A and B are shown apart, each in its own frame.
Chain A
Amino acid sequence: MNHRLHRVLVIVFTIALVLLAIEYAFASEIQRIVSLSPNLTEIVFALGLGDRVVGVSNNCDWPVEAKQKPKMGTFWQPNTEAIIAAKPDLVVCESFLQHKEVAETLKRVGLPVVSLHAESIEELYNAITQIGSAAGCSDKAEPLAAKIKSELNQIRIKASSAKKVKVLWVMETEKLRVAGIKTFINEIIELAGGQNVIAPTGDQYPSVGTETILTSGAEVIIQSAMGTEDITKQQEAADKFWNRFANLPAVKDKKVYVIEADTVLRLGPRLPDGAMAVAKLLHPELFSQPKDQNQGDQTHK
């Protein structure tokens, strides 16, 4: 073997070893993580950091182990004292007012805080990458983001062949509020082969009038479940509520569905599950497996 080549190889090998050691040092550094938002908690767990989580918000309920973690106050009003007492070496939170105030106090104490803004699917990938690099596990973050991306892409490709279905996405019925265009729910609707019937609004989740609903021509109505009440009960209530719009195609064809809220309303690693559930409702002919998925209304066509 050429002597020079040998030397180059040794140098390359040494550099690689040093880089590995640095990466390892960083990876082992973060041991105590506090997460203040349900979707960020899901990301942290999905990155395999679950056993290093020492605190979550009261609203963090997924995965199941997250429920057992010490509570750091509510999502809307985190408890700064409890967070400091948990001795975290990484705090992940969002960037709205209440979280920003807490983050500023924590930074004054000298604790590392990562403030994230995630309101679109693109920002979800970004959040995963940022948490990964802050926790020293970029090696896991990149594949996780890529996996979500490819799963969503598969749904998008499969749905793109079908005709676009007109969708009305209902957030709540008492004072009717729907998902507008400037939401990630709209992104899900579109990639699942649907089209939001709501025209652009200033409000992210506008409240709309009866007239708008009647003329929307919605072919499918999807209602994200509220609270912890049994989903079949909510389905019954929804059917009853929507009966007053008997002329709406979705109501006529009995395509009013109540679905689990967490996978579709939370920008986290379970988003592909949520998108798949939506796709099945919009294009059952393309997405439904032979085994029957008991999603929402069980009308035989």
Chain B
Amino acid sequence: MTELLTPKSLISKIALCLAVLVVVMFVCSLVGTQKISLSAVFAGPGDTPGQNTDYDIFVRVRIPRIILAALVGAALAASGVVLQAILRNPLAEPYILGISSGAALGVMTAAIAGISWSFVGGSPMAAMAFLFAIGTVWLVWFTGHLAGGSTVTSLLLAGVVINAFFSAVIMLMTSLIDSEQLRSTIMWLMGSIGEKDFSTLLASAIFIIAGIAVLFTISQKLNVLAFGAGEARSLGVNPRKITLVAFALASFITAVAVGLSGLVGFVGLVVPHSVRLVFGPDHRQLLPTSALLGAAFVVICDTIARTIIAPAQLPVGVITAIIGGPVFLILLSRYSKKVGNLR
């Protein structure tokens, strides 16, 4: 399979996906509750605040929101690709190893303790979500290895158990303490893409893009890992080391995404599988194309979420599931014969 991928076809596929993303981002920036004209946007902000509403809406609301959606989508899709590879499990998704419940516990703690400091420009919610997600992932990795045995199974098992345990702790917290603040926290956690300031977006973009870039450099080794640990070792790849690196990076970019927008479901599962069905399973192309198309997917879903019941909005997770599910099923029925099987 791998010899079919020439540098030329890889570059052309990445370029195609990049073009799709750029077009999607451009079109979606023109869609919204309010009609705005591009010429008004280019006229600049005006002398007094609030004078040129078209400019304000475009620059302060739509652009940040679309960039945020793209970053979240890229991170989740890339993380899904990597976790499916290292866990050798098609059901793996970015939240499977306790990241979701860890992040949830983090924002709950922030809400209850009334923490007000911030971290790389993020809100206390975002910072706590990030830190707890990373902490939980480390805990999963640590206990998974204490358990020994096959790396993959014990990791999965540790992830599932820690997820369940943290969910119980969260339930305990919500039944002991309830307030408007806590309820708004739970709502935020269900996936909320909003407007961030540019410094937050820039910092997150650097982290996520760098993470995906490093993952890309080890994508050939992920291919080898797919044959199993024994095969990988005989091909000169240290499975434990590569799993650790891939796992840490995937968790890191997922934690950044969770800190930005709560838990946006379905992206990490549906996008990698769809891309794999269409383009094939080679991780060198699967990773970058999934990241780009995942970004485009979340941008589209968020645009629908913010316009379909305007002026009200839907949680973006609802749209990712409602669109992602059927699209994935169609691809599955059309392409699975061609590819043979999922992997």
Chain A residues in the interface with B (C-beta under 8 A): 58, 71-74, 76-77, 79-82, 84-85, 87-89, 96-98, 101-102, 104-105, 108-111, 119, 202-207
Contact = CB atoms under 8 A, between A and B. Distances in A.
Interface stretch (B69-77, B88-96, B310-318): B310-318
A239 B34 CA distance: 48
20 contacts: A58-B311, A71-B311, A73-B312, A74-B312, A79-B312, A79-B313, A80-B61, A81-B62, A82-B33, A82-B311, A85-B34, A85-B57, A87-B50, A98-B187, A102-B194, A104-B197, A202-B176, A203-B177, A204-B178, A207-B175
B207 interface: no
A98 B194 CA distance: 9
A71 B57 CA distance: 17
Contacts of B178: 203-206
Given A76-B187, A105-B195, A108-B197, A96 B180 contact: yes
Contacts of A87: 50, 53
A77 B195 CA distance: 12
Interface in B49-94: 49-50, 53, 56-57, 60-62, 64
Most buried by B among A109, A119, A203: A109
Contacts of A76: 184, 187
Interface residues of B toward A: which range? Answer: 35 or more
Given A84-B57, A101-B194, A105-B195, A77 B313 contact: yes
A96 B311 CA distance: 20
Interface string B158-199: 000000000000000001111111001101100010110100
Nearest to B64: A105
B286 interface: no
B180 A119 contact: yes
B177 A202 contact: yes
B32 interface: yes
B125 interface: yes
A34 to B, nearest CB: 12
Contacts of A81: 32-34, 57, 61-62, 306
Contacts of B188: 97-98
List the 3 closest pairs (A to B, CB-CB), nearest first. A110-B49, A85-B34, A97-B184
B111 to A, nearest CB: 8
A204 B179 contact: yes
Contacts of A105: 60-61, 64, 194-195
Interface of B: 32-34, 48-50, 53, 56-57, 60-62, 64, 123, 125, 175-181, 184-185, 187-188, 192, 194-195, 197, 306, 310-313
Contacts of B62: 81
A199 to B, nearest CB: 14
Contacts of A205: 178
B53 A84 contact: yes
B50 A79 contact: no
B320 to A, nearest CB: 17
A10 to B, nearest CB: 37
Nearest to B198: A108
A7 B187 CA distance: 65
Given A76-B187, A79-B306, A79-B311, 19 more contacts: A58-B311, A73-B312, A77-B313, A79-B310, A79-B313, A81-B32, A81-B33, A81-B57, A81-B62, A84-B61, A85-B53, A85-B57, A97-B184, A98-B192, A105-B61, A108-B60, A109-B49, A109-B56, A204-B178
Given A81-B62, A109-B49, A110-B49, A73 B184 contact: no
B124 to A, nearest CB: 10
A187 to B, nearest CB: 16
B175 A203 contact: yes
A98 B175 CA distance: 22
Contacts of B310: 79, 82
A108 B32 CA distance: 20
B83 to A, nearest CB: 29
Nearest to B112: A202
A131 to B, nearest CB: 19
A89 B49 CA distance: 10
A292 to B, nearest CB: 37
A95 to B, nearest CB: 9
Contacts of B60: 84, 105, 108-109
Contacts of A109: 49-50, 56, 60
A76 B175 CA distance: 21
Contacts of B123: 101
B279 to A, nearest CB: 36
